[in-house]
Amino acid sequence: MKHKLLSIFIILISAVMFANGGKDKKQTSTEEFPFRNSSLPMNERIADLISRLTLEEKISQLLYDSEAIPRLDIPYYNWWGECLHGVARFGKATVFPQAIGLAATFDDDLIQRVASAISDEARAKFNAAKKLNNEGRYISLTFWTPNINIFRDARWGRGQETYGEDPFLTSYIGKAFVKGIQGDHPKYLKAASCAKHFVVHSGPEGIRHSFNATPSKKDFYETYLPAFESLVTEANVEGVMCAYNRTYDDPCCGSSFLMQDILRDQWKFDGYIVSDCWAIHDFYNYHKVNKDVVESASRALLAGVNVNCGTSFRSLPEAVENGSVSENDIDNALSQLLKTRFRLGLFDPESEVPFNSISPDVVCSEEHQLLAREAAQKSVVLLKNKNNVLPLDKKSKNLFVLGPNAADVDVLLGNYNGVSENIVTVLEGIFGKIDAGTNMQYRKAFLLERQHDNEAGWVIGEAKYSDAVIVVMGLSPLLEGEEGESISSVNRGDRVDIGLPEHQIAYLKQMRENLEQPIIAVIMGGSPIAMPEVQELADAVLFAWYPGEQGGNGVADILFGDVNPSGRLPLTFPKSVDQLPPFEDYSMKNRTYRYMTDEPLYTFGFGLSFTKFEYSDLVLDKTEINSSGMINCKATITNVGDYDGEEVVQFYIKDVEASVDAPLSSLRGIKRVSINKGESVTVEFTITPAMLYLIDNNGNKILEPGEFKIIIGGSSPGNRSIELGAAKHLEAAFMLSE
């Protein structure tokens, strides 16, 4: 019997070996499969991999938490990563200023360096996690950043995640960020960036799951689309996330108009499309456009979604069974999606992917701390400096710091953030500057959100003995942010009013009534704040955003003059909420510097310096252009003040003779220049026909002959910024001929 069983066993083994062509175990490992061969064309490798998967396995790979397939040695992969201003929600990482603060730098070179540092840390952390066999949400190389929605309304809590209100600036900063994240290797992505939320998505948060955005075709093509087009066609962003809301009646994640006609066909997008998280669930639960999850999943897949952040795609086997989608539809979606994993080198030998050697030493490194500090310094905007009370003297005898945000960590971190051991509050940054003999006091004095019973008026009495008072106030991510995250918000993260809490203003008034000393207000926040009282009562005003882990040092560097402020507002600051159209209205009429006719509190692009700049000698090499020509223009900027400094030179174009409503002006160029006191620099800009196109009321792009103006200055055009201390603008006219 034993011999008979042994004979049967030998026969079975021989049959298996014959079926495998006589190969041994090593020869039949997955390393032999074509999809593992890094020398083959990527499309061949993807086709080979898909051919080896069952239907259920294919569908499992279309979910954000893609399952492991052990028989092919394919590991689990989670598509959900965040890195808005540093690797987020995944342990320690360098925390850079919040996105709106990065936009305030108007510095694309800096932004690319910041993003490159972020992706270095991302690879290092991913490599380290693999060694720990650690996997899960946020342990990823596919990052759902940047948020390039237009910050059209100051009430939107998530506006802090964007690059502001202007399509050009959003594109300018967004492209630099994408390039820094993805790197410039000819074959591999260092990490994969993702532009979100496509498209026409900027609040209100409370109705985002059911809202239908219906802007005019002019606003759609002129304001809401350009940044996405720029990141797709110029920066080759790897991913696009579709939004929760509907646009023109279709859920964005079920719109073939958005994902096929525009993204794939017009812009030739070759990356992956991801649904916002559980957005497909909204199709039948809130938008009521589909009857159930099967119908909704089918709609999203056929419209162009490649990976579902959520669980709806788990119903796709039923959709295949009932004929709503075919297995070929599944294959096409997966084929597109897998390109990203191959571009990241996730199926290649580790030694061939250079980013696999990035070590954990880069995470929170000294170099990255210094970069975070530079970013914080360049993001801070000086809004007022009466009688040059700033910079402060480090040898001051008595200083007083008060306010709820001085020693607070949340106001440094913003949202979608990591956590670092190098966090420096504003209070710590200030204390790090003063002389050992200086007497400096700190009191919280008042609360961020509400008045308390004990008003602590005695603090103001103590402050009477100081040389200057620094009050650190404003908002917090607890008050503004995404639905569900801003736990102190009464409006799901949005703001009903856009002013400061009343008791903060009341305390500032009490200080002004009782103090003769200079009052320096440092305002923290992620959105425009209507604060005419602060402008009136304080001697100096700094807007510091949510400035990241080195925010305290960055603010202190400016307060004490180690750095000359150079930040610029990426947003218009209204005087009150009464200047805003209804929140739900997506028309650009009376919104942003491009269409707002009311006088704002602070203009887009505005920011002061400790020194003074003068603009002169604007020269155009010609005054007429046709559809194939260009004009070169030059201007001189002179530092006539007492400090070396950096000026952010802004170049705007105005269509004087448009046949439809055109922007009052549009930003078309930025040059950040360093100028020593007493010296001058010449800046140059080139006017091309591409800058002169008009979007008509039907959404068509047309080039109309007529008169145009160029405006060059340190802020957007208008008298308001000049009233507040900015240099006068230079203007010149030219003609576009037939």
Active site residue 276: yes
Phi, psi of 75 (to 5 degrees): -80, 165
Alpha carbons 416 and 583: distance in angstroms, whole number: 24
> How many residues are there in the chain?
738
Residues of the chain by 3-state class (helix, strand, coil), percent to 5? 35, 20, 45
Largest CA distance in the chain: 108
DSSP three-state, residue 301: helix
In whole angstroms, how large is the CA radius of gyration of the chain?
28
Residue 332, classified by CB atoms within 10 Å of its CB into exposed (0-12), middle (13-18) or buried (19+), is middle
The residue among 545, 332, 574 whose CA lies nearest residue 426 is: 545
Q: Let me know: does 732 contact 615? Beta carbons within 8 Å.
A: no
Instruction: Please report, for the chain, how many H helices and E strands are present, in that order.
Output: 22, 24
Would you give the end-to-end CA distance of the chain in angstroms? Answer: 99
Which member of 250, 276, 348, 557 is catalytic?
Answer: 276
| DSSP-based three-state secondary structure for 92 | strand
Asked if residue 667 lies in contact with residue 169, where contact means CB atoms within 8 angstroms, the answer is yes
| Separation of alpha carbons 280 and 1, rounded Å | 62
Query: What one-character DSSP code corresponds to residue 633?
Result: E
DSSP secondary structure string for all residues of 405-463: TTT-SHHHH-SS--B-TT---HHHHHHTTS-TT-EEEEE--S-SSS--SS--THHHHHH
Under 8 Å between Cβ of 197 and 205: no
E strand segments, 155-312 = 194-198, 212-213, 239-242, 246-247, 250-251, 272-275
Alpha helices in 647-735 (DSSP H): 719-723
Task: Measure the CA–CA gap between 350 and 357, rounded to whole angstroms.
Answer: 9
The answer to whether residues 403 and 534 touch, using CB atoms and an 8 Å cutoff, is no
Give Cα separations from 596 to 374, 604, 677, 716 (angstroms).
33, 11, 35, 12
Query: Phi and psi (nearest 5°) for 550?
Result: -100, 20
> For residues 641 and 635, what is the distance between their CA atoms, to the nearest angstrom?
19
Measured between alpha carbons, how far is 520 from 592 in angstroms, rounded to an integer? Answer: 28
Residue whose structure tokens are 């929170």: 364
Pairing of strands 680-687, 631-639: antiparallel
Q: Which of 535, 479, 504 is nearest to 402 (CA)?
A: 504
* Cβ atoms of 593 and 665 closer than 8 Å: yes
Contact 53, 63 (CB under 8 A): no
Strands, E assignment, 30-98: 65-66, 77-78
- Could you give the count of Cα atoms lying within 13 Å of 298 in the half-sphere of its Cβ? 18
List the catalytic residue out of 107, 238, 480, 482.
480
Place of tokens 């970013």: 375
Catalytic residues: 276, 480
